[in-house]
Structure 1
Amino acid sequence: DESSIKVNKQVGHLIRSKLLGENEGGIIQGAGALDTPYLI
């Protein structure tokens, strides 16, 4: 069945962020960024 989920697992964390002054926009528009946390 193509409509059922075969595998769904979490493999990490993703952070989507943008500057404090940005009101709209996202990663594709260039106002946001993707990052991953590095915990020490």
Structure 2
Amino acid sequence: MRGDDFSFFLSFISGHVFIALFQIHKFFLIITDLGEGTTS
């Protein structure tokens, strides 16, 4: 694997990890909102 391919692979993975973390965070916010709505 060349250096260019490796750097592209790293940026590709980091981008997907960032998107996944953002979606998981948004999902947890929705869950907590629903939980607070039902408990109150």
What TM bracket, shorter-length normalisation? under 0.3
Question: What TM-score does the superposition give when structure 1 sets the normalisation length?
Answer: 0.21
Larger Rg: 2
* Higher normalized contact order (CA 8 Å, seq sep 6+, divided by chain length): 1
